[in-house]
């Protein structure tokens, strides 16, 4: 019997001083001692997609990931502010579909002077799909995203999100898969 799961994180929170520009920086890792299915191979080392195989995935003992994050305000004037963020993650390729990802962006709180509670965010991200864990021919996926959050009332917010995904699912190197444009709308009500 293993010890289960462990998560450790080191965080530095930049104090809000005279410049009023707070920031948060984190590095961390998690580990799990459980058993995890191989995403591609069976217990005999053959392909899970092979219909003549036994269909039972090769078992791996444990899984883990390392990550880093930064979130820094660059400008503030009253309730309006501009900040940037960046994140990166790495994990073993034989038991995770994504073995590396990174994203970054900018968030503008109060993009219009008369709408100080609105938030406009723009971001870009990249995910590498593990060649060990995925079927051959997959590579990486990239996305570009724009989001706008609009409070209708103090207790009710609506957020529109537009994403453009290049090579969805990491496909496109060997198969023609069209890029995807997605629109989402989310609402939240707080009682």
DSSP 24-54: EEEEEEEEEEEEEEEEEEETTSSBTT-TTS-
Residue by residue, DSSP assigns 81-127 as: EEEEEEEEEE--TTS-SEEEEEEEEEEEESSBTTBTT-EEEEEEEEE
Tell me what pLDDT residue 65 has: 95
Tell me what pLDDT residue 15 has: 78
Residue whose entry in the numeric block shows the structure tokens 């590396």:
100
Tokens found for residue 9? 């994180």
* Long-range pairs of 6-11 with CB within 8 A, sequence gap ≥ 24: 6/30, 6/31, 6/32
Q: Using CA atoms, how far apart are residues 84 and 101, in angstroms rounded to an integer?
A: 17
Tell me what pLDDT residue 93 has: 84
Tell me what pLDDT residue 1 has: 41
Burial class, 134, CB count within 10 angstroms (exposed 0-12 / middle 13-18 / buried 19+): buried
Query: Residues 83, 71: contact at Cβ < 8 Å?
Result: yes
Tokens found for residue 171? 């496909």
Tell me what pLDDT residue 169 has: 81
Q: Using CA atoms, how far apart are residues 133 and 135, in angstroms rounded to an integer?
A: 7
| Residue-by-residue pLDDT tens, the chain, 191 positions | 456 889 999 999 987 766 779 999 999 999 998 888 877 788 888 887 788 877 788 888 888 999 999 999 999 988 899 999 999 999 988 778 889 999 999 999 999 988 999 999 999 999 998 876 556 667 889 999 999 999 999 999 999 999 999 988 877 655 677 899 999 999 999 98
Query: Residues 138, 100: contact at Cβ < 8 Å?
Result: no
Tell me what pLDDT residue 39 has: 72
Domains in the chain: ranges and CATH: 5-189 (2.40.160.180)
Q: Using CA atoms, how far apart are residues 122 and 88, in angstroms rounded to an integer?
A: 17
Tell me what pLDDT residue 137 has: 65
Tokens found for residue 64? 């883990």
pTM for the whole structure: 0.79
Tell me what pLDDT residue 189 has: 94
Q: Using CA atoms, how far apart are residues 9 and 88, in angstroms rounded to an integer?
A: 14
């Amino acid at each position: 019997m293993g010890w289960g799961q462990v998560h450790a994180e080191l965080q530095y929170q930049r104090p809000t001083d005279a410049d009023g520009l707070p920031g948060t920086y984190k590095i961390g890792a998690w580990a799990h001692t459980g058993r995890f299915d191989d995403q591609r191979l069976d217990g005999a080392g053959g392909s899970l997609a092979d219909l003549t195989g036994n269909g039972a995935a090769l078992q791996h003992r444990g899984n883990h990931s390392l990550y880093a994050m930064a979130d820094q305000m660059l400008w503030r004037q009253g309730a309006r502010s501009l900040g940037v963020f960046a994140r990166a993650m790495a994990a073993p390729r034989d038991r995770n579909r994504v073995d590396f990802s990174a994203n970054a962006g900018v968030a503008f709180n109060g993009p219009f002077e008369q709408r100080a509670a609105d938030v406009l965010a723009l971001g870009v991200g990249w995910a590498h799909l593990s060649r060990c864990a995925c079927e051959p021919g997959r590579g990486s996926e990239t996305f570009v995203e724009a989001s706008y959050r609009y409070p209708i009332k103090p207790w009710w917010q609506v957020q529109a999100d537009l994403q453009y995904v290049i090579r969805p699912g990491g496909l496109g190197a060997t198969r023609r898969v069209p890029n995807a444009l997605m629109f989402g709308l989310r609402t939240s009500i707080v009682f």
